[in-house]
């Protein structure tokens, strides 16, 4: 990498030694078709204009950058929240879904399938399907359908079919496997709407591009608000789409620390975590080479996190690369730290974050202790409505009757 | 030189390939079942490696491999299993594996261990030729077959690449879907098989075409062999093993092999202009002899 080459110019399939296209032959034609279609679309002013129109008129972009005054006072640093939680459907996921639905339409596909962990991506996909008049099937690990029952109902309200996945660990990675199996059988009519910056090329670069506005807006907003760049940008990382979206605009700002917070579950020192970069090793999963939780035989290990959206044993290949070249740091946040941060934000700002996003808040609170007075931009990737039951149980706030209901 | 291709040729281009996961339900039973398949007429054995994320597999094989992983399967069992099967039959043993276990083990080390165990090569469902450089080199060093997939959706260029990279046969994916028995094997299989033959001819070579996905009966085997060199049966055999153990596998293989036999007993007296005079009815005997020669050469 020369000093002149922008870190923002990566288009895949490879991000350093990560990424690629490791798919079964029957899906290669669809993957190639998708890559060619997106490559054309991203240069097509009409496509970009339509995407921007939807982002503005439907999603509500640009999203706000909110000064978290009381949280900042308590933390001892200036914390600015990038409010993706205010997007239509309640998280950043809608950005990517609208972009890919447009690509699907361009490909002549009439059916969208998706995997979902917490349900946010599934809800966003079901929403786009309703908006575009497409059929929608969402695969969701059985474990996740239980811990995110409200989102299951939301998807069904929107007209989607939700299929609980009972294979493997019954979580996000198995939902992806099931989605890919559906895709191979129905590839003529169907677009697989990957929900994160993972999977085979072109998904990592394409999904990042659809989320790039997060960072581009935040960079302008923080400069307007503070007169300069922040000291650090923080985001939670499961597959890593909100983090890639907000990091991307800052990649060439060498003085801005980029910090991804991985879910440490029971703790970074335990075996129950989702620290793909922190504790994983390079390998193949879901069509890409990336950091992966795996055993000595190359079997994917189950990840663990209180947050369904971060409960994934792999990570987007661009993050794997950014970690390897030292441009971004990836740090662990345990369930307990995340839930403490969840409560702190809720009680100081009146903003209930998604538990996923609470990991980023926790990272900011920790960094504030290390670097008092610094300016931190935090991706508040989603709102916590879906997590009220989990949080209620965690903090013991549910009445016995409510618990049983 | 290819042990698998020799075996398919020795079958008169009427190969039956039976799939079972190694270690299911336990190592000894899986070895017995594989040997039973060979004895009952399978031309070659496809031994699957249980994997946590089997994207190409349908429910029957998923359930079997997941149960195998849950009982604590380790990769060492694969090499043990291959060696035990190779000691008891001359039918080539091909290993079907998703790529990450090989990558984690080390491609060269995996090839070396497989060859030492007497394995014939690898079938790699999620490794396409463009990503296979390291494996192609290792396969050459260890004289192993390498089987890549061609699908009804494959472009002409991708079919050419699959033919060029494959040794043994080209895995001819019958239908767009995952593994699992189907009542009718897609017409797409015939079209694909013909395309592969035409592309091979244009390259000035030949390609063995073995059709897999959806085949579960002797009748389907017979239909497929009208236009292909081999038929691959998986889920039906896995289900037989789960339901009725080794005897059920032996019985099903025999009925599948009847579909692969060149001449039906009822038609034995009728003229079969395309059948060589010395055609064998026993699908297992001829490849066994060919493979035995190959073993001698390797020893």
Give the domain CATH number at B174: 3.20.20.70
Helix residue spans in A84-158 (DSSP H) = 93-106, 120-132, 142-147, 149-157
Amino acid B130: pLDDT = 96
User: Are A172 and A283 contained in the same domain?
Assistant: no
Distance from the first to the final alpha carbon of chain A: 57
Amino acid B262: pLDDT = 77
User: pLDDT tens-digit profile of A343-379?
Assistant: 999 999 999 999 999 999 999 999 999 999 999 999 9
Q: Are A346 and A353 in contact (CB under 8 A)?
A: yes
Among A180, A203, A226, where does a domain finish? Answer: A203
Give the domain CATH number at A314: 3.40.50.1100
Which B positions 122-151 lie with beta carbon below 8 A of chain A? 125-128, 130-131, 148-151
Classify residue A389: in a domain, yes or no. yes
Classify residue B227: in a domain, yes or no. yes
Residues in CB range of A97: below 8 A, 6 or more apart: A121, A124, A125, A127, A128, A193, A195
Amino acid A400: pLDDT = 65
Q: Please, which residues bridge with residue B27 across strands?
A: none
Q: Give the domain extent around B93.
A: 3-261+280-298
User: Are A85 and A130 contained in the same domain?
Assistant: no
Q: Cis bond leading into B25, ω under 30°?
A: yes
User: pLDDT tens-digit profile of A28-40?
Assistant: 999 999 999 999 9
Cβ neighbour number for residue A273 with a 10 Å cutoff: 27
Tokens standing for residue B153: 């959706």
Classify residue B212: in a domain, yes or no. yes
Residues of B identified as active-site: 46, 57
Q: Give the domain extent around A301.
A: 61-90+212-401
Rounded Cα gap, residues B34 and B77, in angstroms = 14
Whether the pLDDT of residue A1 is over 80: the answer is no
Classify residue A179: in a domain, yes or no. yes
Nearest residue, CB atoms, B178 vs list A21, A184, A187? A184
Q: Is A109 a catalytic residue?
A: no
Global pTM value = 0.92
Distance, C-alpha A404 to centroid of its chain: 32
- Confidence band for A168, pLDDT divided at 50, 70 and 90: confident
- Confidence band for A144, pLDDT divided at 50, 70 and 90: confident
In the Cβ-directed half-sphere of B296, how many Cα atoms lie within 13 Å? Answer: 6
User: Are A229 and A124 contained in the same domain?
Assistant: no
Classify residue A303: in a domain, yes or no. yes
User: Are A262 and A297 contained in the same domain?
Assistant: yes
User: Are A131 and A167 contained in the same domain?
Assistant: yes
Percent of chain A residues topping a pLDDT of 90:
90
Residues in CB range of A236: below 8 A, 6 or more apart: A242, A243, A260, A261, A262, A263, A307, A310, A333, A356, A357, A358, A359, A360, A363, A379, A381
Among A144, A178, A203, where does a domain finish? Answer: A203
User: Are A75 and A222 contained in the same domain?
Assistant: yes
User: Are A397 and A265 contained in the same domain?
Assistant: yes
In the Cβ-directed half-sphere of A230, how many Cα atoms lie within 13 Å? Answer: 35
- Residue range A284-309: average pLDDT? 96
Classify residue A101: in a domain, yes or no. yes
Classify residue B272: in a domain, yes or no. no
Rounded Cα gap, residues B56 and B89, in angstroms = 28
Number of domains in chain A: 2
Residue A294 exposed, middle or buried by CB count within 10 Å (0-12, 13-18, 19+): buried
User: Are A231 and A162 contained in the same domain?
Assistant: no
Classify residue A45: in a domain, yes or no. yes
Amino acid A143: pLDDT = 85
Number of domains in chain B: 1
User: pLDDT tens-digit profile of A88-104?
Assistant: 999 999 999 999 999 99
Classify residue B268: in a domain, yes or no. no
User: Are A181 and A330 contained in the same domain?
Assistant: no
- Confidence band for A308, pLDDT divided at 50, 70 and 90: confident
Classify residue A19: in a domain, yes or no. yes
Residues of B in contact with A170 (CB under 8 A): none
Amino acid A169: pLDDT = 80
Amino acid A172: pLDDT = 86
User: Are A301 and A327 contained in the same domain?
Assistant: yes
Contact B177 A283 (CB under 8 A): no
Tokens standing for residue B276: 């060589």
Site of tokens 């007497």: B118
User: Are A49 and A189 contained in the same domain?
Assistant: yes
User: Are A129 and A164 contained in the same domain?
Assistant: yes
Mean pLDDT by 10 residues, chain B (299 residues): 95 97 98 98 98 92 96 97 98 98 98 98 97 98 98 96 98 86 79 97 95 94 96 97 98 97 56 40 38 35
Contact B126 A22 (CB under 8 A): yes
Among A183, A203, A223, where does a domain finish? Answer: A203
Buried b (16+ CB within 10 A) or exposed e, A74-101: ebebbbbbbbbbbbbbbbbbbbbbbbbb
Rounded Cα gap, residues A132 and A111, in angstroms = 10
- What H or E segment, with its residue span, contains residue B233? strand B230-233
Classify residue A96: in a domain, yes or no. yes
Classify residue B275: in a domain, yes or no. no
Contact A26 B151 (CB under 8 A): yes
Rounded Cα gap, residues A323 and A335, in angstroms = 23
Phi, psi of B20 (to 5 degrees): -145, 150
Amino acid A3: pLDDT = 53
Classify residue A2: in a domain, yes or no. no
Which A positions 271-300 lie with beta carbon below 8 A of chain B? 281, 283-287, 292, 294, 296-300
Classify residue B160: in a domain, yes or no. yes
């Amino acid at each position: 990498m020369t000093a002149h080459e922008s870190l923002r110019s990566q288009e895949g399939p490879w991000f350093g030694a990560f990424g690629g296209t490791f798919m079964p032959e029957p899906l290669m034609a669809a993957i190639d078709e998708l890559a060619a279609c997106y490559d054309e679309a991203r240069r097509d002013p009409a496509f970009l204009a339509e995407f921007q129109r939807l982002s503005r008129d439907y999603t509500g972009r640009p999203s706000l950058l909110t000064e978290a005054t009381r949280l900042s006072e308590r933390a001892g640093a200036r914390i600015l929240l990038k409010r993706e939680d205010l997007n239509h459907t309640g998280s950043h996921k809608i950005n990517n879904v609208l972009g890919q639905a447009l690509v699907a339409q361009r490909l002549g596909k009439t059916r969208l399938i998706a995997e979902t962990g917490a349900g946010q991506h599934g809800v966003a996909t079901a929403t786009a399907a309703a908006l575009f008049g497409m059929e929608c099937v969402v695969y969701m690990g059985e474990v996740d359908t239980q811990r995110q029952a409200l989102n299951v109902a939301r998807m069904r309200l929107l007209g989607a079919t939700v299929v609980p996945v009972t294979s493997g660990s019954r979580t996000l990675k198995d939902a992806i496997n099931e989605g890919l199996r559906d895709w191979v059988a129905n590839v003529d009519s169907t677009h697989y709407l990957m929900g994160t910056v993972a999977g085979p090329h072109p998904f990592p670069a394409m999904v990042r591009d659809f989320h790039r506005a997060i960072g581009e807006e935040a960079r302008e907003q923080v400069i307007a608000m503070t007169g300069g760049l922040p000291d650090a940008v923080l985001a939670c990382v499961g597959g890593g789409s909100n983090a890639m979206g907000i990091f991307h605009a800052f990649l060439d700002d060498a003085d801005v620390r980029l910090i991804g917070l991985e879910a440490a579950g029971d703790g970074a020192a335990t075996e129950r975590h989702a620290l793909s970069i922190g504790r994983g090793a390079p390998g193949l999963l879901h069509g890409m080479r990336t950091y992966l939780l795996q055993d000595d035989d190359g079997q994917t290990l189950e990840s663990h996190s209180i947050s369904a959206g971060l409960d994934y044993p792999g990570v987007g290949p661009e993050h794997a690369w950014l970690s390897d070249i030292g441009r971004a740091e990836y740090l662990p946040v345990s369930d307990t730290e995340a839930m403490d941060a969840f409560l702190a934000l809720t009680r100081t700002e009146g903003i209930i974050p998604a538990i996923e996003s609470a990991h980023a808040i926790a990272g900011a609170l920790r960094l504030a202790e290390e670097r008092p007075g610094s300016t931190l931009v935090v991706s508040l990737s989603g709102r916590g409505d879906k997590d009220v039951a989990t949080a209620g149980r965690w903090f013991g706030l549910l009445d016995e009757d409510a618990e049983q209901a | 030189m290819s042990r698998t291709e020799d075996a398919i040729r020795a079958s008169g281009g009427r190969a039956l390939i039976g799939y079972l996961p190694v270690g299911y339900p336990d190592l000894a039973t899986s070895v017995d079942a594989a040997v039973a398949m060979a004895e009952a007429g399978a031309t070659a054995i496809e031994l699957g490696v249980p994997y946590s994320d089997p994207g190409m597999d349908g429910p029957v094989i998923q359930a079997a491999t997941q149960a195998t992983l849950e009982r604590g399967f380790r990769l060492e069992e694969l090499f043990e299993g291959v060696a035990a099967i190779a000691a008891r039959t001359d039918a080539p043993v091909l290993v079907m594996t998703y790529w990450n276990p090989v990558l984690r083990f080390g491609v060269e080390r995996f090839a070396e261990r497989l060859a030492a165990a007497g394995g014939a090569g690898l079938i790699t469902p999620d490794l396409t030729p463009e990503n296979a450089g390291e494996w192609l080199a290792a396969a050459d060093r260890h004289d192993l077959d390498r089987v890549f997939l061609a699908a009804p959706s494959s472009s002409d260029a991708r079919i050419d690449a699959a033919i060029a990279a494959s040794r043994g046969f080209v895995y001819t994916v019958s239908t767009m879907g995952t593994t699992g028995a189907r009542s009718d094997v897609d017409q797409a299989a015939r079209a694909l098989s013909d395309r592969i033959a035409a592309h091979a001819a244009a390259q000035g070579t030949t390609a063995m075409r073995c059709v897999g996905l959806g085949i579960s009966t002797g009748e389907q085997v017979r239909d497929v062999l009208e236009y292909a060199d081999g038929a691959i049966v998986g889920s039906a055999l896995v289900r037989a093993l789960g339901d009725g153990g080794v005897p059920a596998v032996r019985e099903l293989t025999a009925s599948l092999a009847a579909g692969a036999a060149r001449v039906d007993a009822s038609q034995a007296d009728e003229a079969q202009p395309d059948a060589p005079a010395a055609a064998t009815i026993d699908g297992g005997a001829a490849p066994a002899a060919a493979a035995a020669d190959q073993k001698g050469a390797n020893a």
